[in-house]
Amino acid sequence: MVDIIAVWTAVFFTLGIYSILYRENPWYRIAESVYLGVAVGYGVSVDLLYIRNQWSGQWSASAGMMLLFAIVMVIGILWYGRFNKNTFYLYRWPLAIVVGTGIGMALRTVIFAQFLEQIVAQTKTPFFVAGNMGTTINNILIQIMVPSVLLYFWFTGTARESAPMKVVEKIARYTMMAGFGSAYGYTVLTRYSLFIGRSQFLLGIPPNDPENQLAFIAIAFIMLASMIGWDLTHKTTPEA
């Protein structure tokens, strides 16, 4: 019985979310509200559990750590100052601490991971790999495309009027279009993969339970019939 309830619930909320494709409707609002409520409640519980574990494992070790924990909790409470215009200025303190700390930590990571290490990897990339034509072609393209894109952004104005820079500019444009296109294609394919997986769940395709199909047909019929019936019964006649 528990498994049956879980399946019907999952099918209901899946179809409830997809019902927005028809139009805004109560089924969608129910699914959206329940999903957001559960997600927020789960997130809050996980955060509270994290705070409790931090207290028992680290902050309660000494009086000094307890004092720091109290200060941190007060700073955290200041986040809620943004909900009142009279206390909004208090919200800037935790915001400044979090943003400043995050930027400071991120810059160090970005410099090493996305700047220095990429330069080193670029210089160590060989043009030719014996016995592997595919890798050789890939490395040659990297050695041509990466400098072309860098030069495209470094030189502007009259510097681009020379014949060599026009060739570099064209290579850079093709490179960026290929990069943007592949990134977009990867995103679309990821969404389609999720959709296909959910469709297999609704249709009961193995390894999913074949009984899912019954829940899908019944709930889809109820939702679609209720929405079409509502539209037909509340359809306004245009004035002559």
Per-residue pLDDT 10s for the chain (240 aa) are 788 899 999 999 999 999 999 888 999 999 999 999 999 999 999 999 988 888 887 788 788 888 998 998 899 899 999 898 899 999 999 999 999 998 888 887 877 777 788 788 888 888 888 888 888 898 899 889 988 988 888 877 666 778 888 888 899 999 999 999 999 999 999 999 999 999 999 999 988 888 899 999 999 999 999 999 988 888 755 454
| Residue 157: predicted pLDDT | 67
| Residue 100: predicted pLDDT | 92
| Residue 163: predicted pLDDT | 82
| Residue 78: predicted pLDDT | 92
Residue that the structure tokens 């930027």 belong to: 103
| Residue 96: predicted pLDDT | 94
| Residue 240: predicted pLDDT | 44
| Residue 238: predicted pLDDT | 47
| Exposed e or buried b per residue across 62-92, where buried means at least 16 C-beta atoms within 10 angstroms of its C-beta | eeeeeeebeeeeeeeebeebeeeeeeeebbe
